[in-house]
Amino acid sequence: MGDRLWRHLADVQAGLLSHRQLRELGVSRGEIRNHVRVGRWAARSGEVVSTTTGPLSPEQALWLGVLHGGSSAMVGALSAARERGLRRWDRDEITILVSNPMSFDPLPGYRFFRTRRPFKVLVGAGELPVCRLEPAVLMFAAHEPHLRTALGAVAATVQQRLTTADTLVDWLDRLTPLRRSRDLRDLLSDVGDGAHSMAEVDLRKACRDYGVQPPRSQRSRVDNRGRRRYTDAEWRLGDGRVLVLEIDGGVHDDPQQATLDRRRNRQLTSATRTVVQCSAWEIRHEPWEVMEDLLALGVPPVG
């Protein structure tokens, strides 16, 4: 009977079991040591074994961190966001949220982050305890050393259509007090107005700073080949024409990507729509240059 119980639990937990769970199922320390000694199981930490002996899969690595962290542990921060669908924000280190990081030994490759927030409020659905997307990324942003990285991760969740700015604001209220709440609210205000990247957020800030009318973002347009495109920023000019500004990030430095971008801009240009470009670097470090050019092209000032 006990054998069936631990086997069932191992199936649920990708082959990982904690000593505490095994003891509760009637498996003694001596039996655990014997399974490891003869090579049926492998010791993965001082408190966790696996019923497989090869390299850990990504899922097993998450279970190891959770089981090592104790009964109230869950996957958190960007590790949780990745499980919830966030892409291109991977980190080598796995973050585990715990109630008391001093109750167990450190584990290489893992960061155990203490939170006093209720487990049931944060954890999402599923057998593997993983923090919900919104609190995971907001709590990451509150403690990430670099503000721009912190804000970029939050903006990415909306850009990738995993959540909405309004939902994130609701979670900000639920997580109060939270470090950087003011910065996060300012960011989510811009994101709610249509900004989908940090470069677009920088553009809106530059417009406020230099008195330029803010743009409309992510407008749906059909190019001259009949394909639907979404523009970074647009302004309706006084003569009825539309000015489009496309902001090129680091990926656009690739020659092939740069060629595709230029082709896309040509195909979006028409008798009533002009497309111009700038770099994300310009918007962040030389915004006055871009603002002067936009005013010269007919973008109206505020007021």
Task: Say if residue 292 is in the same domain as residue 229.
Answer: yes
Does this model's pTM top 0.85? My answer is no
Domain count, the chain: 3
Please indicate, yes or no, if residue 64 is contained in any of the structural domains: yes
Write down how long the chain is.
303
The set of residues, in sequence order, having a beta carbon less than 8 Å from that of 86 and lying 6+ positions away, is 78, 133, 137, 153, 156, 157, 160, 162
Residue range 126-151, pLDDT digits in tens: 899 999 999 999 999 999 999 999 99
Helical ranges in the chain per DSSP H: 2-12, 19-24, 29-37, 58-69, 77-83, 119-122, 133-143, 147-159, 165-175, 181-192, 198-210, 255-268, 280-285, 287-296
| Structural domain containing residue 268 | 200-296
Measured at the alpha carbon of residue 167, what is the angle toward residues 164 and 172, in degrees to the nearest 5? Answer: 125
Task: Say if residue 289 is in the same domain as residue 229.
Answer: yes
Please indicate, yes or no, if residue 301 is contained in any of the structural domains: no
Task: Say if residue 181 is in the same domain as residue 75.
Answer: yes
d(C-alpha 77, C-alpha 91), whole Å? 10
Q: Phi and psi for 18 in degrees, rounded to 5?
A: -95, 155
Task: Say if residue 177 is in the same domain as residue 277.
Answer: no
Task: Say if residue 79 is in the same domain as residue 181.
Answer: yes
Blockwise average pLDDT, block size 10, the chain, 303 residues: 81 96 92 93 95 95 96 95 96 94 87 93 94 98 95 92 94 95 92 80 92 90 86 92 86 68 88 92 92 95 86
Task: Say if residue 44 is in the same domain as residue 65.
Answer: no
Measured at the alpha carbon of residue 55, what is the angle toward residues 53 and 56, in degrees to the nearest 5? Answer: 95
Please say which residue of 192, 216, 242 terminates a domain. Answer: 192
Please indicate, yes or no, if residue 46 is contained in any of the structural domains: yes
Residue 212, token pair as written in the block:
């330029």
